[in-house]
Chain A
Amino acid sequence: MPIEVYLNQIVSGVLTGLIYGLSALGLSVIFGVCKIVNFAHGEMMVIAMYLALLAFQYFGLDPLLSIPLVCGALFAFGYALQAGLINRLIDVPDHMQFILLAAIAIAMVSGCLMIFGPNAQNVQLDYAYDSYEIGPLLLDKVRVFAGIAAISVAGLLAAFFRWTWIGKAIRACGDNIVGAQVTGLNVKHLFALAFGLGSVCIGAAGCILLLLVDVQPFLAVEYTLLAFVVVIVGGLGSLTGALLAGVLIGVSEALAGLFIQPSLKSMFSFGLLILVLLFRPQGLVGKRA
């Protein structure tokens, strides 16, 4: 195969991978701070996609423009979930926590099924078939926008955590909850905020993903697992790790897509997940979970 094909796939993979990374950031933030493993991750992303879809269908909004709205909605949902439900269940054994979130996930997916039906739906954008030509590379406009959007949101989040007071407070909670409490931080509120912020990432990732992929309820589990692959490869709790790993997975998937059937691509990711879980559960970058 000519070299351009590989190059194109790689770049395409990088851009898609940025979205995976953004989505995984959500999972990582929630775990890093609240120590909750969000099994409902993919489901929340699917809901975000459906919201963006509705915005497109009823208001003609480009999914990228819906980002603030959808993120707001998901922030509220995430915050409410943590504050209203999970905060009350601090002493629940780990496995019950997972089952709880898995149950919430099922309820959400089935809810989507009820409201939107099982068929795949997508957005038809004017520029869907446009592309940029840069030398040998032929890049879809949608993919470029998606990549830029993903990196921007990730950058905003990183800046938030680094430079704002609340961001630092949240990080403090994640590092040392007792210390945080002792210094007077309202830990419950900050946990809820963190969950909300994680949900914002998921929301943004969902909107952006809608540019590239059709949405249907059954997508959810795959995206949950994909986010887990990225986070585990990149290291649970590491922001840069999540992005790098996302890109890595995106590229691998894209290259694999050259040789195997597209529908088998997720098998590849799951295979990778299984391998990583077995050999390096703490990931390539992150701290030991």
Chain B
Amino acid sequence: MIKLWLAEIPPRGRLYFSLLLAVLLAAPLFVDGYALSVLVLVFYFAYLGQAWNIMMGFAGQLSLGHALYFGLGAYASAALYVHFGVSPWLGMLAGGAVAAVIGAAIGALGFRFKIGGVYFAILTIAFAEFTRILFDHWLWVGGSGGFFLPVSGRTGNDILSLRGSPEMFYYTWLAFTVGALILCRAVLSSRLGYFWLAIRENEEAAQALGINTFRYKIFAVMLSAALTAFGGVLYAFYNNNLFPSAIFSISRSIDMLLGAIIGGVGTLMGPIIGAFILTPLAEGLTVVLEPLRDLGFKFDGIKQVFYGLCVVAIVVFQRRGVWPWLRRKLRLSPGGAQ
């Protein structure tokens, strides 16, 4: 099956992708800690963008509250680890399950009551905000003061507990990003994927062809939510501190969709390309503005301003995202759903 879809990618595409992958695998050998952390940020946007893309790009449902699932994954795994010593990999299963169930509930509420478009988007924001305030008051996970993971002396890489060097996290994030790509590719070329695309393109026509759109939409939400939750787990163990106002915020929800919006909603490579473009630019901006900091300007939040403006730019100038345009320029277009 892998052979089948590899064959659909033109040889040039396979070449470029392999080169990129090779570079990324070797990167820790020749870049410094800062560059490594920037690359991790790229993977963060790429992976989460891919997860969000499943719901929006494949099943056509807009969620502006994905931070909810991210946070559930983060807090579930962190709490299980800190309070019960449970490995984050098991925590991932727990967090993913919780996120999937809640996603299904929100989806069911929304779809059952025929709440489309704007109302559904508002519903997702409301749930995220509701949860943020809830966690602000939940002391078992730190409340608004924050929840912290113990960072004992880094004696080595403990992959089972996700305690270790930046390199370890780098490869973990990379693995997840590549894994998400492979998963999405597999799903897209399956019966499920085609049904999702049909629902996205024209839900009524899809129904007339025998597709139970309610069930499949719920499934898209569940998969998207679970994958997002996994990302939350990685984030929690990488960052070691969690604050509801940072984890469940609307800002975080926007983070989730940046990769896909910039790169191209509904495409496979979109979130990845979007992440690769957005992150270095944003970092570059902070570096360039660094001297001004000494002059007294505060720059917390400059990145968000930049992200917001990027989205505006994309919507105005290239609303399908960068990847479709880039793909044409590099003459890699295969046509169809990619």
A-to-B contact residues, CB < 8 Å: 37, 39, 85, 88-89, 92, 94-96, 98-100, 102-111, 113-115, 117-118, 217-218, 221-222, 224-225, 228, 232, 261, 263-264, 266-267, 270-271, 273-274, 277-279, 281
Contact = CB atoms under 8 A, between A and B. Distances in A.
Contacts of A106: 250-251, 254, 304-305, 307-308
Contacts of A217: 301
A273 B302 CA distance: 32
B319 A96 contact: yes
12 contacts: A103-B310, A103-B311, A107-B305, A110-B308, A111-B305, A218-B245, A232-B122, A267-B133, A270-B130, A270-B133, A274-B109, A281-B113
A92 B261 CA distance: 14
A273 B122 contact: yes
A224 B316 CA distance: 24
B122 A102 contact: no
Given A37-B118, A274-B130, A102 B254 contact: yes
Nearest to A37: B118
A228 B65 CA distance: 15
Given A110-B302, A263-B136, A270-B130, A277 B123 contact: yes
A281 B114 CA distance: 10
A104 to B, nearest CB: 6
A85 B297 CA distance: 29
Contacts, number: 139
Interface of B: 56, 62, 64, 109, 113, 115, 117-119, 121-123, 125-127, 129-130, 133-134, 136-137, 245, 249-251, 254, 257, 261, 297-305, 307-312, 315-316, 319
A225 B319 contact: no
A222 B302 CA distance: 22
A273 B126 contact: yes
Contacts of A224: 125
A279 B114 CA distance: 11
A88 B251 CA distance: 26
